[in-house]
Amino acid sequence: MEFSIQRDYFITQLNDTLKAISPRATLPILTGIKIDATNEGIVLTGSDSEISIEITIPNQVDGQDIINVVEPGSVVLPGRFFVDIIKKLPGKEVKLSTNEQFQTLITSAHSEFNLSGLDPDQYPLLPQVSSDDALQLPVKVLKNIIAQTNFAVSTSETRPVLTGVNWLIQQNELICTATDSHRLAVRKLKLEEEIEDKNVIIPGKALAELNKIMTDSEEHIDIFFASNQVLFRVGHVNFISRLLEGHYPDTSRLFPENYEIKLGLNNSDFYHAIDRASLLAREGGNNVIKLSTGDTQIELSSTSPEIGTVKEEVTANDVEGGNLKISFNSKYMMDALKAIDNEEVEVEFFGTMKPFILKPKDDDTVTQLILPIRTY
């Protein structure tokens, strides 16, 4: 294998490939980046066996020569270390050449590295996902969906299905649901094109990594589902994640009906008041904030015997219903408010011991449900 490549462009693509690589890979070869040079360009592959990223660099980008492949071939080089080297090389261009023992010579200006590479045949094969039946979404919308649901997945492996986000496609509607059993986030989206019904669970960690890779320069992303894999294709990047096995719980019965009290609040005012109250709640070690409603003045408070007390007042824009005192985890509330992409938020309460619901005003596509904490 022998090729030369524009260093700046190479660095960007290598950084994205690295996102799939874990320094604690169980299989040593997976700490490496696989490089395949062909006459059409170069393919970079990184994987931690849960997610894989495959980036194709064409010979030319925007009419500019990026790569010159002298001899096609493949090698696996030590991931992070190789990327650090490429970043620090002095020249605009870098040249790689590999011998039959996968010894790789990397040269740029007056700098010369000789690295022990690994046999690419030892690198695991990536799962093949058929490119039929794609779901196409605007990148912005997918980023939104991830931001509005992914934070609510469980971080505990007790119930593995809850570490993922349930993507349910039925009757041309996508319903994404995440819950850690203390709070739940739902985002709904009407689909413009006809697509087969699906019910899959995508690992939360994979969606978080995908989110980092999608740049605003790409408009659309194509999503392909296989029986136990999902492929996201955005520009020249293939992002593949395994799906979680098991049945996602039916969460629709969790939503209470007929609220007792409904508040209309300014999202930012409410968020900052909770943020302040949570300072004391966190210092006290329990994260519990109390909310009490009555008239338009909503009172938030938290008490920690050794440290002190805090009291915040927020003025509601609308109030329906009477008095209520309820306690909740401040972090869940702040996460939910951040996920509601709207200046006005509606909060529906169903009683002191029942879950309550947050929504953007006049918008049913996002619903955040939080279980209260028993303190009264």
For a copy of itself, give the closer residue by CB, 280 or 366: 280
Which of 24, 88, 190, 374 forms a contact with a copy of itself (CB under 8 A)? 88
Element (H or E) spanning 139, and its range? Answer: helix 139-149
Could you give the CA distance from residue 285 to residue 304 in angstroms, rounded to a whole number?
8
Whose CA is closest to 108, among 122, 127, 88?
88
The single residue among 8, 28, 71, 90 that binds a copy of itself, judged by CB under 8 A, is: 90
Applying CB under 8 A, does 115 fall inside the site for a copy of itself? Answer: yes
CA distances to 11, 295, 316, 330, 375 from 298, rounded to whole Å, are: 52, 7, 7, 15, 18
| Residue from 60, 136, 296, 309 binding a copy of itself (CB under 8 A) | 309
276 lies in the site for a copy of itself, by CB under 8 A? yes
* Nearest distance from C-beta of residue 111 to a copy of itself, angstroms: 5
Q: Judge whether 189 and 141 are in contact, CB under 8 Å.
A: yes
The site map against a copy of itself for 34-73 (x = CB under 8 A) is ----------------------------------------
Q: Residue 32, interface with a copy of itself (CB under 8 A)? A: no
Q: What is the 8-class DSSP label of residue 236?
A: T
Q: Which stretch binds a copy of itself (CB under 8 A): 7-15, 45-53, 85-93, 354-362?
A: 85-93
State the residue for tokens 């008490």: 303
Cα end-to-end distance, the chain, whole Å: 71
Rounded to a whole number of angstroms, the minimum distance from the CB of residue 330 to a copy of itself is 13
Question: Could you tell me the sign of the dihedral formed by the alpha carbons of 81, 87, 91, 97, in that order?
Answer: positive
**Is residue 92 a contact residue for a copy of itself (CB under 8 A)?**
no
Phi, psi at 3, each rounded to 5° = -155, 160
73's tokens:
């071939």
Q: Is 19 in the site for a copy of itself (CB under 8 A)?
A: no
Q: 50: which 2 tokens?
A: 């849960």
Provide the token pair at 243: 């799906």
Binders of a copy of itself: how many residues, by CB under 8 A?
Answer: 31
Single out the segment in contact with a copy of itself by CB under 8 A; choices: 9-17, 247-255, 268-276, 325-333: 268-276
- 295 interacts with a copy of itself by CB under 8 A: no
Decide if residue 308 touches a copy of itself (CB under 8 A). Answer: yes
Please state, in angstroms and rounded to a whole number, the distance separating the CA atoms of residues 41 and 3.
Answer: 10
Q: Does residue 307 touch a copy of itself according to CB under 8 A?
A: yes
CB of 89 to a copy of itself, least distance (A): 7
40 half-sphere exposure, CB direction, 13 A CA radius: 3
Min CB(272)–a copy of itself separation in Å:
7
Q: Which two tokens stand for residue 83?
A: 């990327």
Exactly one of 43, 89, 213, 240 binds a copy of itself (CB under 8 A); which one?
Answer: 89
311 is a site residue for a copy of itself (CB under 8 A): yes
Q: Determine, following the binding rule CB under 8 A, whether residue 279 of this chain makes contact with a copy of itself.
A: yes
Cβ atoms of 289 and 328 within 8 Å: the answer is: yes
Residues that bind a copy of itself (CB under 8 A): 78, 81, 84-85, 88-90, 103, 110-116, 272-273, 275-276, 279-280, 283, 306-314
